[in-house]
Protein backbone atom coordinates (compact mmCIF):
# COMPACT_ATOMS: atom_id res chain seq x y z
CA UNK A 1 0.00 0.00 0.00
CA UNK A 2 1.39 3.38 -1.03
CA UNK A 3 1.82 5.91 1.77
CA UNK A 4 1.49 8.74 -0.76
CA UNK A 5 -2.12 9.88 -1.07
CA UNK A 6 -3.68 11.11 -4.30
CA UNK A 7 -5.51 14.46 -4.41
CA UNK A 8 -8.82 12.60 -4.38
CA UNK A 9 -7.79 10.58 -1.33
CA UNK A 10 -6.58 13.71 0.45
CA UNK A 11 -9.94 15.37 -0.20
CA UNK A 12 -11.69 12.37 1.36
CA UNK A 13 -9.38 12.61 4.36
CA UNK A 14 -10.17 16.33 4.69
CA UNK A 15 -13.83 15.39 5.13
CA UNK A 16 -13.10 12.78 7.81
CA UNK A 17 -10.69 15.11 9.56
CA UNK A 18 -13.18 17.96 9.41
CA UNK A 19 -15.71 15.86 11.30
CA UNK A 20 -13.09 15.04 13.95
CA UNK A 21 -12.27 18.72 14.38
CA UNK A 22 -15.93 19.68 14.56
CA UNK A 23 -16.60 16.97 17.16
CA UNK A 24 -13.87 18.34 19.43
CA UNK A 25 -15.22 21.87 19.06
CA UNK A 26 -18.73 20.59 19.75
CA UNK A 27 -17.78 18.71 22.92
CA UNK A 28 -16.03 21.74 24.41
CA UNK A 29 -19.36 23.18 25.61
CA UNK A 30 -20.04 19.99 27.61
CA UNK A 31 -16.71 19.97 29.48
CA UNK A 32 -18.06 21.03 32.87
CA UNK A 33 -18.02 19.82 36.45
CA UNK A 34 -20.57 17.06 37.07
CA UNK A 35 -20.78 15.53 33.60
CA UNK A 36 -19.67 11.92 33.28
CA UNK A 37 -17.17 10.73 30.71
CA UNK A 38 -19.82 8.30 29.42
CA UNK A 39 -22.13 11.25 28.75
CA UNK A 40 -19.36 12.99 26.86
CA UNK A 41 -18.79 9.84 24.83
CA UNK A 42 -22.49 9.57 23.97
CA UNK A 43 -22.49 13.16 22.72
CA UNK A 44 -19.43 12.53 20.56
CA UNK A 45 -20.85 9.33 19.09
CA UNK A 46 -24.17 11.00 18.27
CA UNK A 47 -22.35 13.89 16.62
CA UNK A 48 -20.18 11.63 14.45
CA UNK A 49 -23.16 9.48 13.39
CA UNK A 50 -25.15 12.63 12.54
CA UNK A 51 -22.46 13.38 9.96
CA UNK A 52 -22.99 9.95 8.38
CA UNK A 53 -19.59 8.81 9.63
CA UNK A 54 -18.33 5.99 11.83
CA UNK A 55 -16.63 6.37 15.24
CA UNK A 56 -13.23 4.86 14.42
CA UNK A 57 -12.28 3.78 17.93
CA UNK A 58 -15.39 1.77 18.82
CA UNK A 59 -14.44 -1.90 18.59
CA UNK A 60 -10.85 -1.08 17.64
CA UNK A 61 -8.23 -3.64 18.59
CA UNK A 62 -10.59 -6.61 18.83
CA UNK A 63 -8.86 -9.98 18.63
CA UNK A 64 -9.22 -13.51 19.84
CA UNK A 65 -7.57 -12.45 23.08
CA UNK A 66 -9.68 -9.43 23.94
CA UNK A 67 -12.68 -7.35 22.96
CA UNK A 68 -12.19 -4.11 21.08
CA UNK A 69 -12.26 -0.67 22.63
CA UNK A 70 -15.79 -0.25 24.02
CA UNK A 71 -16.43 3.44 23.31
CA UNK A 72 -16.37 6.05 20.56
CA UNK A 73 -13.84 8.37 22.21
CA UNK A 74 -10.84 7.92 24.48
CA UNK A 75 -11.40 10.20 27.49
CA UNK A 76 -8.52 10.43 29.94
CA UNK A 77 -8.50 12.45 33.18
CA UNK A 78 -5.49 13.89 35.04
CA UNK A 79 -2.89 11.10 35.46
CA UNK A 80 -4.53 9.08 32.67
CA UNK A 81 -2.34 9.61 29.61
CA UNK A 82 -4.46 8.06 26.83
CA UNK A 83 -7.06 5.36 26.09
CA UNK A 84 -9.28 6.18 29.06
CA UNK A 85 -12.56 4.25 28.88
CA UNK A 86 -15.65 6.45 29.32
CA UNK A 87 -17.59 5.58 32.49
CA UNK A 88 -19.78 7.07 35.22
CA UNK A 89 -16.79 9.04 36.54
CA UNK A 90 -17.72 12.71 36.81
CA UNK A 91 -15.49 15.61 35.87
CA UNK A 92 -14.46 17.87 38.72
CA UNK A 93 -13.49 21.53 38.70
CA UNK A 94 -9.71 21.68 38.37
CA UNK A 95 -9.38 18.44 36.36
CA UNK A 96 -7.78 18.21 32.95
CA UNK A 97 -9.35 15.82 30.46
CA UNK A 98 -7.94 14.57 27.17
CA UNK A 99 -10.52 13.76 24.50
CA UNK A 100 -9.22 11.70 21.57
CA UNK A 101 -11.55 11.26 18.58
CA UNK A 102 -11.26 9.19 15.42
CA UNK A 103 -13.61 9.12 12.43
CA UNK A 104 -13.99 6.85 9.41
CA UNK A 105 -15.85 8.12 6.36
CA UNK A 106 -15.63 7.18 2.70
CA UNK A 107 -12.90 4.66 3.52
CA UNK A 108 -10.50 7.16 5.13
CA UNK A 109 -9.67 8.08 8.71
CA UNK A 110 -9.12 11.26 10.69
CA UNK A 111 -7.69 11.46 14.22
CA UNK A 112 -7.17 14.30 16.69
CA UNK A 113 -7.00 14.94 20.43
CA UNK A 114 -7.28 17.96 22.72
CA UNK A 115 -6.78 18.32 26.45
CA UNK A 116 -9.36 20.56 28.12
CA UNK A 117 -9.31 22.23 31.50
CA UNK A 118 -12.43 21.74 33.63
CA UNK A 119 -13.45 25.05 35.19
CA UNK A 120 -10.52 26.89 36.72
CA UNK A 121 -7.33 24.83 36.62
CA UNK A 122 -4.07 25.46 38.45
CA UNK A 123 -1.13 27.34 36.96
CA UNK A 124 0.77 24.04 37.11
CA UNK A 125 -1.76 22.44 34.77
CA UNK A 126 -2.16 25.50 32.55
CA UNK A 127 1.56 25.43 31.83
CA UNK A 128 1.54 21.67 31.18
CA UNK A 129 -1.22 22.12 28.60
CA UNK A 130 0.51 25.12 27.04
CA UNK A 131 3.82 23.30 26.65
CA UNK A 132 2.21 20.12 25.30
CA UNK A 133 0.15 21.95 22.69
CA UNK A 134 3.11 24.08 21.61
CA UNK A 135 5.27 20.96 21.30
CA UNK A 136 2.70 19.57 18.84
CA UNK A 137 3.14 22.63 16.64
CA UNK A 138 6.92 22.38 16.94
CA UNK A 139 6.57 18.88 15.52
CA UNK A 140 4.19 19.98 12.76
CA UNK A 141 6.66 22.67 11.66
CA UNK A 142 9.07 19.84 10.84
CA UNK A 143 6.58 17.60 9.00
CA UNK A 144 7.78 18.69 5.58
CA UNK A 145 8.99 16.83 2.53
CA UNK A 146 12.69 16.01 2.75
CA UNK A 147 12.78 15.88 6.55
CA UNK A 148 12.79 12.66 8.56
CA UNK A 149 10.61 11.46 11.42
CA UNK A 150 13.54 12.30 13.70
CA UNK A 151 13.19 15.97 12.78
CA UNK A 152 9.67 15.89 14.21
CA UNK A 153 10.71 13.81 17.21
CA UNK A 154 13.67 15.99 18.15
CA UNK A 155 11.63 19.20 17.85
CA UNK A 156 9.00 17.82 20.26
CA UNK A 157 11.46 16.26 22.70
CA UNK A 158 13.76 19.27 22.85
CA UNK A 159 10.92 21.65 23.64
CA UNK A 160 9.21 19.36 26.17
CA UNK A 161 12.31 18.37 28.09
CA UNK A 162 13.67 21.90 27.91
CA UNK A 163 10.47 22.97 29.66
CA UNK A 164 11.09 20.46 32.45
CA UNK A 165 8.55 17.76 31.54
CA UNK A 166 8.71 14.11 30.51
CA UNK A 167 7.76 13.01 27.00
CA UNK A 168 6.12 9.57 26.87
CA UNK A 169 8.17 6.94 25.03
CA UNK A 170 5.95 3.86 25.14
CA UNK A 171 3.36 5.44 22.82
CA UNK A 172 3.84 7.21 19.49
CA UNK A 173 2.03 8.92 16.64
CA UNK A 174 1.41 7.15 13.35
CA UNK A 175 0.67 7.23 9.69
CA UNK A 176 -3.03 7.40 8.84
CA UNK A 177 -5.21 6.98 5.77
CA UNK A 178 -7.13 3.88 4.72
CA UNK A 179 -6.13 2.47 8.09
CA UNK A 180 -6.28 4.23 11.44
CA UNK A 181 -2.69 3.23 12.14
CA UNK A 182 -0.33 3.00 9.17
CA UNK A 183 3.41 3.34 8.73
CA UNK A 184 5.41 5.24 9.72
CA UNK A 185 5.49 5.33 13.50
CA UNK A 186 5.92 8.93 14.67
CA UNK A 187 7.71 9.01 18.06
CA UNK A 188 8.15 12.16 20.12
CA UNK A 189 11.75 11.34 21.06
CA UNK A 190 15.01 10.80 19.20
CA UNK A 191 15.95 7.33 18.03
CA UNK A 192 18.42 6.09 15.45
CA UNK A 193 15.52 4.08 14.04
CA UNK A 194 13.51 7.23 13.21
CA UNK A 195 15.22 8.15 9.93
CA UNK A 196 12.14 7.48 7.79
CA UNK A 197 12.10 10.07 4.99
CA UNK A 198 8.98 12.21 4.67
CA UNK A 199 7.54 12.85 1.21
CA UNK A 200 4.77 15.10 -0.08
CA UNK A 201 1.39 13.39 0.04
CA UNK A 202 2.03 11.40 3.20
CA UNK A 203 -0.49 11.81 6.01
CA UNK A 204 0.56 11.36 9.64
CA UNK A 205 -0.88 11.86 13.10
CA UNK A 206 1.51 13.72 15.41
CA UNK A 207 0.56 13.39 19.07
CA UNK A 208 2.81 14.45 21.93
CA UNK A 209 1.90 12.90 25.29
CA UNK A 210 3.61 14.92 27.99
CA UNK A 211 3.86 14.09 31.70
CA UNK A 212 4.29 16.63 34.45
CA UNK A 213 6.79 14.28 36.09
CA UNK A 214 8.61 11.20 34.86
CA UNK A 215 8.08 9.97 31.28
CA UNK A 216 7.27 6.41 32.36
CA UNK A 217 3.75 4.97 32.08
CA UNK A 218 1.85 1.78 32.85
CA UNK A 219 -1.40 0.10 31.80
CA UNK A 220 -4.30 -0.38 34.21
CA UNK A 221 -6.05 -3.71 34.71
CA UNK A 222 -8.77 -2.80 32.18
CA UNK A 223 -6.12 -3.42 29.51
CA UNK A 224 -6.59 -0.02 27.88
CA UNK A 225 -6.07 2.94 30.18
CA UNK A 226 -2.48 4.22 30.22
CA UNK A 227 -1.48 6.20 33.34
CA UNK A 228 1.68 7.93 34.49
CA UNK A 229 3.88 5.72 36.64
CA UNK A 230 4.24 8.45 39.26
CA UNK A 231 0.54 9.45 38.98
CA UNK A 232 1.42 13.02 38.08
CA UNK A 233 -0.89 14.61 35.46
CA UNK A 234 -0.41 14.19 31.72
CA UNK A 235 -1.59 16.11 28.65
CA UNK A 236 -2.19 14.96 25.07
CA UNK A 237 -2.65 16.95 21.87
CA UNK A 238 -2.87 15.52 18.35
CA UNK A 239 -3.44 16.59 14.75
CA UNK A 240 -3.61 14.70 11.48
CA UNK A 241 -1.34 16.50 9.02
CA UNK A 242 -0.51 16.33 5.33
CA UNK A 243 3.20 16.40 4.52
CA UNK A 244 3.97 18.98 1.83
CA UNK A 245 6.84 21.04 0.48
CA UNK A 246 7.62 24.02 2.68
CA UNK A 247 4.92 23.63 5.32
CA UNK A 248 2.59 20.86 6.44
CA UNK A 249 -1.19 21.22 6.16
CA UNK A 250 -3.15 20.50 9.33
CA UNK A 251 -6.20 18.48 8.27
CA UNK A 252 -7.89 18.44 11.69
CA UNK A 253 -7.76 22.21 12.28
**How do residues 12-64 score in pLDDT, each as one tens digit?**
999 999 999 999 999 999 999 999 999 999 999 999 999 999 999 999 998 87
Specify the pTM. 0.96
Give per-residue pLDDT as tens, 139-161. 999 999 999 999 999 999 999 99
Task: Confirm if 173 and 189 have CB atoms less than 8 A apart.
Answer: no
Neighbours of 252 (CB within 10 A): 26
Give per-residue pLDDT as tens, 79-89. 999 999 999 99
Residue 96 has a pLDDT of 98
Task: Confirm if 192 and 240 have CB atoms less than 8 A apart.
Answer: no
**Cβ-proximal residues to 154 (8 Å cutoff; 6+ apart), any chain:** 142, 190
Q: Which residues of 162-181 are buried (b: 16+ CB within 10 A; e: fewer)?
A: eeebbbbeebbbbbbbeebb
Dist CA 109 CA 102 (whole Å): 7
CATH 3.90.230.10 corresponds to the domain 7-250: yes
Instruction: Report the alpha-carbon angle 75-77-82, nearest 5.
Output: 55
Q: Domain locations in the chain? A: 7-250
**Count of alpha carbons within 13 Å of 141, Cβ hemisphere only?**
10
Amino acid sequence: MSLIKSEKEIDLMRESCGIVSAALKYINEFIKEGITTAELDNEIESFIVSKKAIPAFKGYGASGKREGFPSSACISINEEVVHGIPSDRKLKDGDIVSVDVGVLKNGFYGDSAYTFGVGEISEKLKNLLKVTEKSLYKGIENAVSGNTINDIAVAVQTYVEGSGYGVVRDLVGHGIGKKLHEEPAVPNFYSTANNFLLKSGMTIAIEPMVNYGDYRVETLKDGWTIVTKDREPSAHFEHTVLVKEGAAEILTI
